[in-house]
Amino acid sequence: MGTIDRTHGWLAGVLTMLLVLALVAGPAAAASPPDQLDPPGPGEGTPLRNPTEPPLAGYGTMAQPSPSITLDGRAWRRAAVRRMAPANRYVGSARVSRRGWSHGARRVVVAPGTNPFDPMVASSLAGTVGGPLLLTRTRSVPSKVDRELRRLNPGRIYVVGDMRRRVVTRLRNVATVVRVGRGNRYETSVAVARRAAKLGARRRTVIVAGGRAPAQSLGAAALAAGRRYPLVLTKRAGKRLRLQRRVRELGARRTLVIGNQSAVSAGIVRNLPRVRRLARPGAAGTAAVTAAAARRHGLRGSPVLINRKNWPAASYAGVWAGVRRDAPLLATAGRELADPARWWFNRYQPRKAVVLATKKSVPVVTTCQLRRGGMRRWYCAERLLHRQGYHMPHVDGRVDRFTLWAVYAFEKVAGRSANGSFGNAEWRRLLRNPRHKVRRPDLPSTHVEIDIGRQLILLVKNGKVAHHIHTSTGKSSTPMVRGTFTVYEKRDYLQTYNMMYRPIFFYRGYAIHGYPSVPTYPASHGCGRVYNGNMDFLYPKIFMGERVATY
C-alpha cells in the first residue's frame, strides 16, 4: 500500500507540474504549436561579408547571406550643399536679395514676375549696376518685396517692363524710379541693353536669346549679370537685318547665341559678329553648356542649382549667382541629378553648391548625390529606403544586417526576386518609389497587414503604408491563419524555450515575433517571423487592440 501511495503521489506531482507549465505558456500554446527553432534553410549559413564585425547586442541572428551592393556611376569631389526653399518667386527674390546684399544696395532693378522674359533681360542691367533683381506683380507689390526694398534703401530703382501706375507710385515712395522698356519683350530687351551700355556694360560681347523659349535660356541671366553682357531677345526667324543693326549699334564684336535652332534659327544670326552657339539637347543641357561657357568667361564660383521649370528663379538667382557669387547657374529635373549637371560637376569639381528649390522640385536624392560626390552612392540609397518606409536605424553608408533586411523588403515591394542584391537597376526602381497598396481600407486608418503572398508585414498609418518589414510566415504544413484579428497580448521578453523574441499575439497562438532565422520563403510554424532588430522597431509601434489583417 505504501508503494501504491507513493506512486499516486508522484503522478499527482507530475500532473500538477504540467498544469503549472501550461498556465505559464499562456495563449501561445492554446491552439497551434509555438514557433520553434528550425534547421537552416537553403541560402542560410553563409558568413557575413565582414566576419570581424561584432554581433549586434541582443540580436541573436543566425548567419545570413551578405547583401550584394553593386552600384556604380560617375564620381566627383564632394560638395558642401546649402538649400534655400522659398515659398514663391516673390519671396524667393526677396530672400536672395537679403542674402546677397545684406548691407543694402544703391541701385535695384524691379521686373514683373508674371512673364519669363522681362526678368531675363533685366538681369544684364542688374549686373551692370551691381544691384539685386526683385520680382513684383504688375498690379501690386508683395509685402515681402516691399519690406526688402525699404531695407535695401536704394537711391534709384530701375523698373523694367510694363507695370501699373499704382505699383510705380508705391516704388517712388522708396526711391527715385527710372522706367526702362515698355511694350513688347523684344523692344524692352533693346531698351534695357542700351541703358546697360550707357551705364558701363561690356558691349563687345552681346548675348542673343530666343523670345519664345524661356527654358532654353535658363543660364543666360547668370552669364549676363556676372560678366555685364547686354542681352537681346529675338524671334526664331524673321527680320535678320533689324537684329544685325541692333547688335552692331551696341558695338558688339562677339555674339553668344543661347539655345538651339528651335529657339534661334541659324539664318537670323548668320551675319552677326563671331557667333558662338551655346546649346545642348534639353533645358538642363543648354544650362550646363552655358555654365561651362560662364566658367571660361571667368565665373568660377560655386554654382546655383534650380529646377529647369523654375524660370523666375533663373533670373533673380542668376543675378545673385553672377554678381555676388561670381558663379554660373545650373538646372536639373527628374528624380535625381540630371546628366548634363552631372557632367558639369564631374568636369569642374566645385567645392560648394546652393540648391534654390523645394525638396519636391529638386529632391533630396540630388543633394545627397552632390554631397557624396557621385551618381550611385549606397548612402543615398539608404536615405531613400529610410524615407520610403524600410527600417534603417542608422543611415551611415555601411552595409550591415539591417541593409540585407531592408533590401529584402524593397525587392518584395518592387516585385523582384528577394536575393539581397542591389545594383543600378534596383536604384532606378527605387527612384520611382514603389509602394504597397493598402488592401484593407475598411479597417481603422492605423492597423497592421500581413501579406502572405509577398511575405511582408505592413504598418498602415493614416490610411497609407508607412513601413515595410521583411517576414517569413507559416510553411505549407503549418500555414498562417487568414482573416482579421486583434492584438490581445504583448510579451516584452525573449522566450528562451522557443526563441520567440518580444512576441505580439493577435489570434490564439499566432503572433508576430523576432527570431534568429528569417529566410525569404515561408518557414515558420504559423507565426510571422521578423529579425530581432526589426522586432525592436515593431514592438512599440503596434499597440494593444490594434487590428491585424492577414491575406
Q: Does some domain include residue 197?
A: yes
For residue 445, what pLDDT is reported? 96
For 344, the 3-state DSSP assignment is helix
For residue 9, what pLDDT is reported? 56
pLDDT digits (tens, 9 = 90+) for 471-482: 999 999 999 999
For residue 446, what pLDDT is reported? 96
Mean pLDDT of 37-42: 38
pLDDT digits (tens, 9 = 90+) for 109-153: 999 999 999 999 999 999 999 999 999 999 999 999 999 999 999
Average pLDDT score, the chain? 87
How many domains does one find in the chain? 2
Q: Does some domain include residue 4?
A: no
Query: Where is the domain boundary, 372, 393, 416?
Result: 372
Q: Look at phi and psi of residue 396 and say left if phi exceeds 0, alpha if psi is from -120 to 50, else beta.
A: alpha
Strand 80-84 relative to strand 205-210: parallel, antiparallel, unpaired?
Answer: unpaired
Q: Between these two residues, 390 and 74, which has the higher pLDDT value?
A: 390
Co-location of 457 and 542 in the same domain = yes
Contact 431, 390 (CB under 8 A): no
The CATH number assigned to the domain holding 47 equals 2.40.440.10
Which single residue is written with the C-alpha cell 536672395? 96
Q: Does some domain include residue 398?
A: no
Q: In this structure, how many other beta carbons lie within 10 angstroms of the beta carbon of residue 489?
A: 13
Partners of residue 82 on adjacent β-strands: 354
What single-letter DSSP state applies at residue 230?
-
Mean pLDDT of 315-339: 95
Grid cell, residue 129, equals: 549696376
Kind and range of the H or E element at 176?
strand 176-180
* Amino acid at residue number 526: G
Q: Does some domain include residue 396?
A: no
Residue 548 phi/psi, 5-degree rounding, is -125, 125
Domain that holds residue 303: 80-372
Co-location of 43 and 107 in the same domain = no
Co-location of 41 and 134 in the same domain = no
Q: Does some domain include residue 378?
A: no
Query: Where is the domain boundary, 320, 347, 372?
Result: 372
pLDDT digits (tens, 9 = 90+) for 235-275: 877 777 788 888 888 989 999 999 999 899 988 888 899 99
Grid cell, residue 332, equals: 536639373
Contact 505, 27 (CB under 8 A): yes
Q: Does some domain include residue 394?
A: no
Contact 435, 465 (CB under 8 A): yes
Q: Does some domain include residue 221?
A: yes
For residue 52, what pLDDT is reported? 34
Q: Show Cβ contacts of residue 448 under 8 Å, excluding neighbours closer than 6 positions.
A: 457, 458, 459, 460, 487, 506, 512, 542, 546, 547, 548, 549
Co-location of 60 and 97 in the same domain = no
For residue 449, what pLDDT is reported? 97
Helix, strand, coil % (nearest 5) of the chain?
Answer: 35, 20, 45
pLDDT digits (tens, 9 = 90+) for 482-534: 999 999 999 999 988 889 999 999 999 999 999 988 999 999 999 999 999 99
For residue 65, what pLDDT is reported? 61
Q: Between these two residues, 225 and 419, which has the higher pLDDT value?
A: 225
Co-location of 123 and 158 in the same domain = yes
Co-location of 221 and 316 in the same domain = yes
Name the pLDDT band for 34 (thresholds 50, 70, 90). Answer: very low
Name the pLDDT band for 39 (thresholds 50, 70, 90). Answer: very low
Query: Where is the domain boundary, 337, 352, 372?
Result: 372
Co-location of 353 and 442 in the same domain = no
Co-location of 213 and 306 in the same domain = yes
Co-location of 327 and 454 in the same domain = no
Residue 49 phi/psi, 5-degree rounding, is -60, -40
For residue 513, what pLDDT is reported? 96
Co-location of 210 and 158 in the same domain = yes
Q: How far apart are CA 252 and CA 265, in angstroms?
A: 20
For residue 171, what pLDDT is reported? 95
For residue 17, what pLDDT is reported? 57
For residue 1, what pLDDT is reported? 45
pLDDT digits (tens, 9 = 90+) for 411-453: 999 999 888 889 999 999 999 999 899 999 999 999 999 999 9
Contact 390, 35 (CB under 8 A): no
For residue 24, what pLDDT is reported? 41
Co-location of 88 and 237 in the same domain = yes
Name the pLDDT band for 53 (thresholds 50, 70, 90). Answer: very low
Q: Does some domain include residue 2?
A: no
Co-location of 89 and 126 in the same domain = yes
Mean pLDDT of 14-24: 49
Residue 340 has pLDDT above 50, yes or no: yes
Q: Look at phi and psi of residue 275 and say left if phi exceeds 0, alpha if psi is from -120 to 50, else beta.
A: beta
Q: How far apart are CA 219 and CA 221, in angstroms?
A: 6
